Amino acid sequence: MGEIDAKMVAALRKRTGAPMMNCKEALVEADADMEKAVDILRKKGLKAADARGDRVSTEGQVFCYVHHTNKLGVLVELGCETDFVARNEEFVGFGKDVCLHVAAFRPRYLAPEDVPANEIERERAIVLEQTATQMAGRPKEVIEKAVDGRMNKFFAEICLLEQPWLRDDKKTTGLVCKELAAKIGENIKLRRFVRMELGG
């Protein structure tokens, strides 16, 4: 077994943002192999991310982006549990990227539960009418399933957490946030955002 010292633990913590004890345990499990320890922390972190979801995130930062024309600005509040993580390079990078994402993709709401019920009902009625016309003669269950799929696309267009991520459109913004929480070992929460455009 390789020798594990405080410098290695500190280096792993700096790299992953995970708590010191978790870093030490991962290094022990990985026989002092830094890359294996990173993988171990990531695997454990994804499983624990859901469990952390209910923990209060009282720390964090407000990130901002102002377009070079000064006609578009974005504010994003990103929460975490400790001030140490609030200064973490990956946390800060994610916050800045969310600002760029909001500027580019124009989400109107944070999550589907934030969309007003009357807007959902109106959209669902339109989608149902279109789908029923396009799929005339098909069973009701098939039409309902198609409507649900189209409503998911609707939410993916207007809700930040459901939108395909700016840097990897195979993932949603919400999933990227959850993966970061798993990697760092803390609850990270996109709390709110504002997008302002001159004349808009």
Please check whether residues 99 and 192 belong to one and the same domain. Answer: yes
Residues 6+ positions from 152 with CB-CB distance below 8 Å: 162
CATH of the domain at 23: 1.10.8.10
At residue 122, the pLDDT reads: 95
Same domain as 87, residue 29: no
Range(s) of the domain holding residue 163:
59-110+159-197
Supply the pLDDT for residue 45. 66
123 CB-contact burial (10 Å; exposed 0-12 / middle 13-18 / buried 19+):
middle
The verdict on residue 125 lying in a domain is yes
The answer on 37 and 136 residing in a single domain is no
1 assigned to some structural domain:
no
Count of domains in the chain? 3
* Residue 68 is assigned to a structural domain of this protein: yes
- Number of other residues whose CB lies within 10 A of the CB of residue 191: 12
Q: What pLDDT, on the 0 to 100 scale, is given for residue 1? A: 54
> In sequence order, which ranges of the chain are alpha helices (DSSP H)?
6-16, 20-29, 34-52, 83-86, 89-105, 117-134, 140-158, 173-184
Q: Give pLDDT, residue 56.
A: 59
pLDDT of residue 55: 57
Whether 144 and 165 map to the same domain: the answer is no
Same domain assignment for residues 105 and 164: yes
Nearest by Cα to 90 from 174, 21, 10, 13: 13
Say which residue the tokens 């720390």 belong to. 59
Residues 150, 82 share a domain = no
Within this chain, do residues 153 and 171 fall inside the same structural domain, yes or no? no
Q: If the chain, 200 residues long, is cut into consecutive pieces of 10 residues, what is the mean pLDDT of each piece? A: 79 76 87 88 63 66 97 97 93 98 98 94 94 90 92 96 96 96 91 93
Q: Are residues 39 and 72 located together in one domain of the fold?
A: no
Residue 42, in any domain of the structure = yes
In a domain, 169, yes or no: yes
Q: Is residue 22 part of a domain?
A: yes
Residue 112: per-residue pLDDT? 94
Please indicate, yes or no, whether residues 29 and 127 belong to a single structural domain of this protein.
no
pTM: 0.71
Is-contact 112 88, C-beta < 8 A? Answer: no
